Each structure stands twice: as structure tokens, then as C-alpha cells.
């Protein structure tokens, strides 16, 4: 089947092209994949199911690069990569950042789930093969993952913002600023939430096993609202966050690890968990963080202290004995948003709203889960926020939060620099394909 040139140009917008002239495209024959046109005109239920399942799959695509990039910039972990020194040099400010390097996948990889969602939404607008309630189920899934993908993009891009409208790849919007980007993402998530409200009691497809507790429109909406809650605290909109919290799966007495999961299977055509350490990729905890962890903290199990420290010497010299120990099963899952994060967000909301008792109650739920004594420090707002940020550093280690947390509180200068000359980047540069597009389309 013919694949329309618009798909090629969209690839540019998610980092697929780095050529000098981004407008030079050709129609090609792709024998392996159907065209977008195949689902644009009265897509069948089977096609809509395939698009939805593809949405779950696409959402995992940039996970490893994203978590390792933001973790490195935030100086919570380092990738001792034996074949690529830029993990330790460029991402730590020791050499100029490169907007065409592999690590830009922390931004560009999430263009694919956005594209998947837009194809799904367009297909739903042009089909009569399923009733409206079922359409709303598909819409709710698409917009939820679209919002999450945009949020990952924005976390990597920071003040650069993101393009919120790429439905027509030949007429994409300019990048919105940071505040506008957050507001746009919140709107996408709200549209997903509204669709889920109109989706009836059940989805029209079988959901992945990682969503076993989120496999109806009502329970999946709790996941959607958890992402929206993240957006609200990034906006520092504490009143909105307080309203969203009870709409999520926050459970002060529940399993800290509860939440929807990306699942993996190393048997093709699926993929194995990309976060495992390998012979060439060894992700280590920054020594200066784990050396000062409180004695008896159960979260120390997230790293395995090696008898002989691991050393890195390519372009920069650094040593750490703390090898990450969170992802060891090639078929093991990754929880997208855990209840522990929601509990810490509850503590943060309460601290910001002056509710000291509720802030410390939630803070102590996490500390008790980690085998630690109750918080005994000062209870001013600033002291509580700092205590919450500390717990988030250990509780949410290698989950993509430290850098974003410190940036949203204007505390990047407080991040420990393990090696002389290292810097904390405020953001990644805009990917070269994005730059090229704007040059040729002023």
C-alpha cells in the first residue's frame, strides 16, 4: 500500500529527519504497514482495537532513554555506558549539548504516541462502525496517552515548550511556552476524562494485563486524573490539585506500588523491559545521594552496593558502588504512576495549603513504608516542602522526577555536582528537526 507523504513529514516533527531541507519528501511504497488512509474512512472495530492496543505499545517506546536522560541531568543516576561517553559528558554539561544526538529521544520518541493518538481520533471522527459510547472509550485512551506523551516531552524541553497541534503535519503549530504547554496538556487530559465519562461501563476491547485494575472507563479515568494531577502540581495550582487528588487512585492505606503498568515480553513481536542493566549499559545511583541515605531505609534495595565500586573513565572519571537494582526481569513491568507518588503529592498539596497535620501524615506514610521513624523536623511550609522533595528523591528514584522537581521549585542550583565542572542543564535543546522545520517554515 502507498504511505502518504504526510507520514514522512510527521516523522520529521518527531525527530525522524536531520537533512538540510526538511521539505524534500517522496511518496514511497511500504509493503509491511497499511497506510493511514486505511483507517481514515469508516474504520472497522478491529482496526480501532488495533489502534488502541498500538497506543499502549507506543507509550513505552522512549521510556529507557527518557528515564536515563532526565535522571542523569538531575544527578540522581548515571549511565556508565561502555560505548557512548556522551551520557557522562554532554548530559552533565562537560561538553556542549548536541540537538541531534541519541539522547534527544527523551523528546522525540514521544512524538509517536502523539501521532498514534491523532490517527485514532481522526479515524473515530470518520467511522460509523461502532456506537458513540465505544468511540468515547477509544477517545479516552488516546487522549490520556497523548497527554502523558506531551508531558514527557515538556519535561525534557522545559522552557522551550512543545507544539500542541500537529494534527496536520504540514501545518503544525509553533511551540507554546511552558505555561501554555502545561495548560494545553491539561486540556487534552480533560478531553480524555470527559470522553471516559461517556464511554459506558466497559471498554470495547480487552485491555493489557498491566491495566487489570484500570480496565473500565471509570477506573481508567483514575489514571487519567493522576496524570492531570501531575500537571496541576507542575502548574503550582494547589487548589486544582486538591480537587483532582480524590479522583485518582490515591489510597493512604493502600499498596505503595499500586498503579497501571507498562508490561513487556521479550518474545517477539513484543519487546523486553528496556531498563535492565546489560554488558554495555550499567545504570548506577549517584554515590553522594546513596551514601547519606538514612540507616535502615528499605529504599536502599533500589540499588545493590557492589564490593568493588564501578568506575567510569571515558571523558570523565567517576566511581560509584551503587548499581541500580529495580529492573532485573526482562519481562518485568514498569508502573507508570505509583500510589506512593500520589501520597507524596497529597503531602505536597497539604504543605502548600498550610495543612501541617495532613502534610506530615502523608509524609509519614511513606517514611513508615520505608522502615523509618516519623518525620521530626520543622513544620514550616519551606521545611515540609524540602522534606517532601527528599522523600521523593528516594521513593521515586529512577522514575523520572528529581530534575523536574528541583526545576519547578527553582532549586537546580542545589543539586549536588559529583564531579568538578559538571553542570545541571535547565532543559534539552530543541531537536534539530524541529529547528529545521521552523527555518523553512517561518
Count other Cβ atoms within 10 Å, centred on residue 18.
14
pLDDT at 21 over 80: no
Indicate whether 4 belongs to any domain: yes
CA distances to 168, 202, 287 from 342, in Å? 36, 25, 27
Nearest-angstrom CA–CA distance, 360 and 357? 5
Indicate whether 422 belongs to any domain: no
φ, ψ of residue 309 in degrees (nearest 5): -55, 150
| Predicted TM-score of the model (pTM) | 0.92
Indicate whether 411 belongs to any domain: no
Please tell me what DSSP assigns to residue 322: E
Indicate whether 268 belongs to any domain: no
Residue 154, domain extent: 1-27+45-58+110-253
Indicate whether 292 belongs to any domain: no
Indicate whether 100 belongs to any domain: no
- Amino acid 241: pLDDT: 98
Of 45, 33, 40, 228, nearest to 135 (Cα)?
Answer: 45
Return the axis-axis angle of helices 132-157 and 45-58, rounded to nearest 10°: 20
- Amino acid 192: pLDDT: 98
Indicate whether 265 belongs to any domain: no
CB 142 within 8 A of CB 60: no
Count other Cβ atoms within 10 Å, centred on residue 280.
11
Nearest-angstrom CA–CA distance, 432 and 438? 10
pLDDT at 229 over 60: yes
- Amino acid 321: pLDDT: 98
Q: What is the CATH number of the domain that holds 185?
A: 1.25.40
Question: For 165-213, what is each residue's pLDDT tens digit?
Answer: 999 988 999 999 999 999 999 999 999 999 999 999 999 999 999 999 9
CB 97 within 8 A of CB 428: yes
pLDDT at 17 over 70: no
Q: Which three cell numbers stand for residue 302?
A: 533500589
**Section 79-92 average pLDDT:** 97
3-state secondary structure of 323: strand
pLDDT at 16 over 80: no
CB 220 within 8 A of CB 214: yes
Question: For 262-287, what is each residue's pLDDT tens digit?
Answer: 999 999 999 999 999 999 999 999 99
Indicate whether 196 belongs to any domain: yes
| Banded pLDDT at 35 (limits 50, 70, 90) | low
φ, ψ of residue 426 in degrees (nearest 5): -80, -30
Q: Out of 123-132, 164-173, 347-356, 416-425, which region has the weakest mean confidence (pLDDT)?
A: 164-173
**Section 245-274 average pLDDT:** 97
Q: What's the domain count of the chain?
A: 1
Mean pLDDT score of the chain, rounded to an integer?
A: 92
Nearest-angstrom CA–CA distance, 434 and 100? 10
φ, ψ of residue 266 in degrees (nearest 5): -70, -10
- Amino acid 38: pLDDT: 78
Question: For 351-399, what is each residue's pLDDT tens digit?
Answer: 999 999 999 999 999 999 999 999 999 999 999 999 999 999 999 999 9
Q: Which three cell numbers stand for residue 189?
A: 487530559
pLDDT at 239 over 50: yes
169-190 as b/e, with b when 16 or more CB fall inside 10 Å? beebeebbebeebbebbbebbb
Nearest-angstrom CA–CA distance, 184 and 167? 14
- Amino acid 3: pLDDT: 35
- Amino acid 15: pLDDT: 37
CB 185 within 8 A of CB 144: no
- Amino acid 408: pLDDT: 98
- Amino acid 170: pLDDT: 87
Q: DSSP of 255-318, one letter per residue?
A: -TT-S-EE---SSTTS---TTS--SS--EEE-HHHHTTSPTT-GGGGGEEEEEEEEEE-SSS-E
Amino acid at each position: 500500500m502507498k504511505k502518504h507523504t504526510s507520514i514522512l513529514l510527521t516523522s520529521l516533527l518527531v525527530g525522524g529527519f536531520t537533512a538540510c531541507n526538511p521539505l524534500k519528501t517522496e511518496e514511497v511504497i511500504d509493503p509491511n504497514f497499511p497506510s493511514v488512509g486505511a483507517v481514515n474512512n469508516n474504520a472497522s472495530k478491529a482496526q480501532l482495537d488495533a489502534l488502541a492496543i498500538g497506543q499502549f505499545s507506543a507509550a513505552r517506546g522512549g521510556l529507557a532513554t527518557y528515564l536515563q536522560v532526565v535522571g542523569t541531568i538531575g544527578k540522581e543516576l548515571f549511565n556508565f555506558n561502555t560505548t557512548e561517553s556522551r551520557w557522562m559528558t554532554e548530559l552533565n554539561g562537560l561538553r556542549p549539548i548536541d540537538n541531534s544526538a541519541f539522547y534527544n529521544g527523551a523528546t522525540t520518541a514521544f512524538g509517536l504516541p502523539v501521532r498514534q493518538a491523532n490517527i485514532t481520533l481522526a479515524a473515530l471522527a470518520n467511522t460509523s462502525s461502532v456506537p458513540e459510547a465505544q468511540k468515547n472509550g477509544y477517545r479516552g485512551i488516546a487522549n490520556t496517552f497523548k497527554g502523558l506523551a506531551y508531558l514527557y516531552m515538556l519535561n525534557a524541553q522545559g522552557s522551550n515548550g512543545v507544539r500542541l497541534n500537529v494534527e496536520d503535519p504540514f501545518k503544525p503549530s509553533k511551540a507554546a511556552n511552558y505555561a501554555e504547554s502545561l495548560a494545553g496538556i491539561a486540556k487534552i487530559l480533560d478531553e480524555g476524562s470527559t470522553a471516559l465519562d461517556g464511554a459506558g461501563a466497559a471498554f470495547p476491547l480487552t485491555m493489557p494485563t498491566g491495566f487489570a485494575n484500570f480496565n473500565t472507563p471509570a477506573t481508567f479515568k483514575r489514571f487519567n486524573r493522576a496524570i492531570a494531577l501531575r500537571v496541576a502540581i507542575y502548574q503550582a495550582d494547589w487548589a486544582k490539585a486538591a480537587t483532582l487528588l480524590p479522583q485518582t487512585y490515591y489510597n493512604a492505606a493502600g499498596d505503595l506500588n499500586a498503579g497501571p503498568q507498562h508490561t513487556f515480553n521479550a518474545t517477539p513481536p513484543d519487546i523486553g523491559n528496556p531498563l535492565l542493566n546489560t554488558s554495555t549499559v550499567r545504570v548506577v545511583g549517584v554515590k553522594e545521594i546513596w551514601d547519606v541515605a538514612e540507616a535502615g531505609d528499605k529504599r536502599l534495595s533500589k540499588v545493590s552496593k557492589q564490593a568493588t565500586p564501578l568506575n567510569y573513565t571515558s571523558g570523565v572519571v567517576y566511581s560509584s558502588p551503587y548499581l541500580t537494582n529495580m529492573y532485573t526481569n526482562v519481562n518485568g513491568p514498569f508502573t507508570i504512576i505509583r500510589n506512593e507518588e500520589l501520597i507524596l503529592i497529597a503531602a505536597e498539596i497539604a504543605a502548600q495549603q498550610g495543612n501541617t497535620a495532613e502534610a506530615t501524615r502523608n509524609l509519614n506514610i511513606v517514611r513508615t513504608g520505608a522502615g523509618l521513624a516519623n518525620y521530626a523536623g520543622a513544620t514550616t511550609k519551606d521545611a515540609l516542602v524540602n522534606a517532601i522533595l527528599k522523600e521523593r528523591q528516594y521513593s521515586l528514584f529512577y522514575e523520572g522526577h528529581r530534575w523536574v522537581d528541583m526545576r519547578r521549585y527553582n532549586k537546580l542550583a542545589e543539586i549536588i555536582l559529583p564531579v568538578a565542572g559538571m553542570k545541571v542543564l535547565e532543559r534539552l535543546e530543541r531537536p534539530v528537526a524541529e529547528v529545521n522545520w521552523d527555518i523553512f517554515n517561518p
